[in-house]
A = this chain, B = another copy of it.
Amino acid sequence: MLGVDPGLTRCGVGIVDGAPGTPLRLVHVSVVRTSPDDDIATRLLGVEAGIEAVMEEYAPDAVAVERVFAQHNVRTVMGTAQAGAVAIVAAARRGLPVALHTPSEAKAAVTGNGRADKAQVTMMVTRLLRLDVAPRPADAADALALAICHVWRGGAQARLDAAARRAVRPTTPRQTGSRP
């Protein structure tokens, strides 16, 4: 499960292995950075390259991206939306399911409180993944929180979505086996 906390200056990227009811494991965490001195095209290309590299190396089975709201600083939010779009389309291009979760959902998943502060989120991510060192900067911890959020919420939701897609879309017959 790849979590992406989108941003142009710092884009958090974290991969977590696990399933509801089983221990979580940190697979990878990093921050893709681009320079504010570069133009938007160069920056978005940098974000794409960073995310592509992680997807190429770790082949995650799904991607969770933070859902962006336009409530804060307009300039920042546009960059976040653009970086998020790059992450979403990079995942979709590989046929990976993409889920969006709000920051509140991610915070609530790992701390129990949708309004938890960054320190609390980082502390819980560190604890849940049994890390010796807290992931830094906050964007890295946020990406891991998103991934954890989706591991815990995603299982049931993914099955519902898949069922809904099967119900409304024409599908081609598949070779995959039956589940008892």
Report how many copies the assembly holds: 2
The distance from the CB of A76 to the nearest CB of chain B, in whole angstroms, is 10
A44 touches B82 (CB 8 A): no
Q: Which residue of the partner chain, among B78, B86, B88, B100, contacts A68 with CB atoms under 8 Å? A: B78
Chain A at the B interface: SS class? helix
Q: Does A40 contact B (CB under 8 A)?
A: yes
Chain B residue numbers with a CB within 8 Å of A78 are 68, 70, 81
Chain B residue numbers with a CB within 8 Å of A70 are 70, 74, 77-78
Smallest CB gap from A40: residue in B: B88
Smallest CB gap from A165: residue in B: B39
The distance from the CB of A80 to the nearest CB of chain B, in whole angstroms, is 9
Chain B residue numbers with a CB within 8 Å of A97 are 41
Q: Does A113 contact B (CB under 8 A)?
A: no
Complex CA–CA separation, A48 to B94 (angstroms): 13
Q: Does A159 contact B (CB under 8 A)?
A: no
Q: Does A42 contact B (CB under 8 A)?
A: yes
What are the nearest 6 A-B pairs in CB distance? A82-B85, A41-B92, A41-B98, A85-B85, A70-B74, A81-B81
> 4 other contacts beyond A40-B100, A41-B92, A89-B89, with CB at 8 A cut-off?
A81-B81, A81-B82, A85-B85, A85-B86
The interface of chain A, by Cβ under 8 A from chain B, is 39-42, 44-45, 48, 68-71, 74, 77-78, 81-86, 88-89, 91-93, 97-98, 100
